[in-house]
Every structure is written in C-alpha cells, then in structure tokens.
Amino acid sequence: MAVLNLPGVLVYLILRPPRTLEEEYQRTLEEEALLQALEDLPLCPGCERRVKEDWQICPNCHTKLKKTCHNCSKLMELPWNICPYCGTPAPGMRLEATSLDDALKGIKVTEEPEGSNN
Ligand SMILES: [Zn+2]
Ligand SMILES: [Zn+2]
C-alpha cells in the first residue's frame, strides 16, 4: 500500500506547498465558517451582491434595501406596511398617491380667482 501510494504522495508534495494537517484542518474550518456566514447574508435585489441585514441602501447600486419606521426609527423590510416594534403604520405608495391627489385638488380650489369678487 505505502509503496504503491508513494509516487502519488511525492507528486502531491511537489505540486502543492507543504502544509501541516493542523493548518489544513484550521483552514477548512475557517472556509466553512466563512461560507456559512456568506449564505446567511441577504442578496441585494438590484445587483445581487451580498448585503448586511442592517443596511438601508446597497453601497454598490444604491438600491433601497430597508426602510425605517418614522416613529421609532427601527429598520423595517420594504414590504412591511406596519412597524413590528411600535405598531405605527408605514406610509405606503397608495397612501402617498392619495395624499398627492388630495393635494392637487386643494391646489385647484385655491387657484380659483379671488379678486373677481372684490
Ligand atoms: Zn446592489
Ligand atoms: Zn416603529
């Protein structure tokens, strides 16, 4: 067995830099830990790079990743429409559109000529 494997071992030692078993083991552990940590991180929906869970903006493509509660300033997922920490409803797209519509209506009303009655 040992004699048969010897040429293979020699080739291995020549091609690869010598490393102790302990170093090899440590390296494997580190790589596995790193891989697991990477897998836990969420991906940016814009550029698919790994981002941290508490990031609000992707530093690579500036995609908005999270929003903050306007009441308690805690981080919220973008689809959430209510803050899980304090229960404050988040201002959504529809609410903004409605308020914008109301604002436009208000502008139209105030644009009525006032001087004619005087
Ligand atoms: Zn991105
Ligand atoms: Zn809140």
- Of residues 84 and 35, more confidently modeled: 84
**Model pTM above 0.85:** no
Taking the alpha carbons at both ends of the chain, their separation in whole angstroms is 112
Determine, yes or no, domain membership for 5: no
Query: What mean pLDDT value characterizes the chain?
Result: 78
Give me the number of domains the chain comprises: 1
How far is ligand 2, taken at its centre, from the CA of residue 115, in Å? 47
How far is ligand 2, taken at its centre, from the CA of residue 2, in Å? 68
| Phi-psi region at 92: left, alpha or beta (left = phi > 0; alpha = psi -120 to 50) | beta
Determine, yes or no, domain membership for 76: yes
Determine, yes or no, domain membership for 18: no
Write down the residue that tokens 């091609």 correspond to.
Answer: 15
How far is ligand 1, taken at its centre, from the CA of residue 64, in Å? 8
Determine, yes or no, domain membership for 87: yes
| Phi-psi region at 29: left, alpha or beta (left = phi > 0; alpha = psi -120 to 50) | alpha
Cα 51 from Cα 68, distance rounded (Å): 17
Which residue blocks in the chain are alpha helix, DSSP H?
2-15, 21-40, 93-110
Determine, yes or no, domain membership for 8: no
Ligand having the closest approach to the CA of 44: 1
Q: By mean pLDDT, which of 24-33, 37-46, 67-76, 92-101 is the weakest?
A: 92-101
User: Where in the sequence is the domain holding 60, given as residue range(s)?
Assistant: 40-108
Given a cut of 70, whether residue 36 has pLDDT beyond it is yes
SS3 67: strand
